[in-house]
Amino acid sequence: MSKLLEGKCALVLGVANRWSLAYAIADAFRREGACLILTYQGERQRDAVETVGQELAAAQVLPCDVASDGELAQLAEKLRESPGRVDAVVHSIAFANREDMSRPFVETSRAGFSLAQDISAYSLVAVARTVAPLMTEGGSITTLTYLGSTRVIPNYNVMGVAKASLEAVVRYLASDLGPKGIRVNGLSAGPVKTAAARAIPGFSSILDYVAQRAPLRRNTDPREVADAAVFLASPLSRGVTGNVLFVDSGFGIMGL
């Protein structure tokens, strides 16, 4: 039986550890036959991501700080050398200052607002500009977003605004890159126990609330998000672009 991503090269940015959604996605891509390339930010992350890369049988583990145009250019050069072509990209990168997540949104600092926008939203623009010339046979770019982009989620604050910007970026990139056969979509996952999520104050209560009220009466399994990412990276979604796919046990449809 053929695998959905057989012969495809997938670049996954944001695999910080084996508990991240990016790890689950990379593992599913490997299962479906993709050649994996992972990136890490800075020397502090290098050993951890290289260990993960060995577990996932990644072909390469490369440095890339998405806030640095120089490092993005170096990434493009290394990808041009090998494998020479990219078919799928997963952008699983977001950051905001902890203090801007824990205090009232109205107290968000100017610097903190700019930082969250740069790393969480603009980085998708920068990554797409970097990899698009290497997507010579078209392909798929997928980013990760969250319901806080359109609803007020306690303590999500500046990150919710950044995710709203990210979803707008998805639509504009889809329009720009569509003529090249490159599709751009977002995955809106329900709350999952990742290291990043645990940094949100009161996150455990959000998990409990969602499990009680989502139509499926449970939280999201990372493997469900990963399988949806496989769909978006595969030919099965060849007519899908500029969209946000919800994988959240249905919670996003609920009112009170």
Q: Which residues pair with 138 in a beta bridge?
A: 136
253: in domain: no
Cβ neighbours, 10 Å, residue 69? 12
* Distance from C-alpha of 103 to C-alpha of 124, rounded to nearest angstrom: 27
Domain housing 199: 9-248
CATH number at residue 94: 3.40.50.720
Query: What is the pLDDT, as a whole number, of residue 204?
Result: 78
pLDDT at 198: 64
Q: Which long-range contacts (CB under 8 A, 24 or more apart) does 208-216 make?
A: 210/248, 210/249, 210/251, 213/251, 213/254, 214/190, 214/248, 214/249, 214/250, 214/251, 214/254, 215/249, 215/250, 215/251, 215/253, 215/254, 216/249, 216/250
Residue 1 lies in a domain: no
Is residue 162 in some structural domain?
yes
pLDDT at position 205 is 83
Q: Could you tell me if residue 90 is left (phi over 0), alpha (psi between -120 and 50 degrees) or otherwise beta?
A: beta
Question: Which parts of the chain sit beneath pLDDT 70?
Answer: 194-202
Instruction: Note whether residue 46 is domain-resident.
Output: yes
146 is catalytic: yes
pTM of the model: 0.95
Q: Residue 83: inside a domain, yes or no?
A: yes
Instruction: Find the catalytic residue in 23, 122, 156, 209.
Output: 156
The per-residue pLDDT for 201 is: 64
For residue 218, being part of any structural domain is answered with: yes
pLDDT for 102 equals 86
The answer to whether residue 40 is catalytic is: no
* CA dihedral (156, 249, 144, 93) positive or negative: positive
The reply to whether 109 falls in a domain is yes
Q: Has residue 254 been placed in a domain?
A: no
Task: Quote the pLDDT of residue 50.
Answer: 96
- Listed residue (111, 112, 114) closest to 101, CA to CA: 112
Predicted local confidence at residue 195, as pLDDT: 63
From the list 23, 40, 122, 146, the catalytic residue is 146
Domain count, the chain: 1
pLDDT in tens, 136-183: 999 999 999 999 999 999 889 999 999 999 999 999 999 999 999 999
